[in-house]
Amino acid sequence: MRPLAEKKLVVASHNGGKLREFADLMAPFGIEARSAKDFGLPEPDETGTTFEENAYIKALAAAKATGLPALSDDSGLCIDALGGQPGVYTANWAETPDGGRDFRLAMQRAEVAMQEVGATEPAQRTGRFVAVICLAWPDGEAEYFRGEAEGHLVWPPRGDKGFGYDPVFVPNGHERTFGEMTAEEKHGWKPGQADALSHRARAFQKFARAKLGSA
């Protein structure tokens, strides 16, 4: 694996929720991180068909534009009853006619789809959040770190924390949704402590162990 010589990174995202979560996860490591938005970079078209491909597109674009290593993630919700949808198109399900995103609308769309296939009981409403972190260098080299959080979906949404589909997702072993958990509870991990809970924290935990020498 290629060493991360300096703790300077670009976080290749314009998503405020993701940026807050990465800031929380990076805080213990003293990483100097700036977002793609800070550099005024445009959002590249995510034309990949896998989480890995889309994460690479974003990280490589930011790395080439800034000359710094760039960290990105592509993540989504995969619902078993819907054959893994929305998957890589998770954010697309939230798109509105005016070009914005409404995740309340996206959660409702997912619920309607599950109702249409008869997924009404918890055992029929299983799924997982997936996050793939890509660390890319300006020369195109990249490494990937994947995290998954298994659980089931509930309705109606519960909680006003987190972002995206958090209010309808209950992780295995818990009774509250991600939307009802604080950031510390949702991530469930700090260096030297127990394994992470959320998909993004699990992916970051693998990154930290590989690149930052974390336990």
Torsion, Cα 8 13 15 17, to 10 degrees, reads -40
**How far is it, in rounded angstroms, from Cα 25 to Cα 200?**
9
* Active-site residue (options: 74, 80, 98, 160): 74
Residue 179 CB-density burial (10 A; 0-12 exposed, 13-18 middle, 19+ buried): buried
74 among known catalytic residues: yes
Instruction: Give the DSSP per-residue string, the chain.
Output: -----SSEEEE----HHHHHHHHHHHGGGT-EEEETTTTTPPPPP---SSHHHHHHHHHHHHHHHHSS-EEEEEEEEEEGGGTT-BGGGTTGGGB-TTS-B-HHHHHHHHHHHHHHTT--SGGGSEEEEEEEEEEE-TTS-EEEEEEEEEEEE-SS---SSSSTTGGGEEETT-SS-GGGS-HHHHH---TTSSPP-SHHHHHHHHHHHHHS---
Any idea which residues carry the catalytic annotation? 74
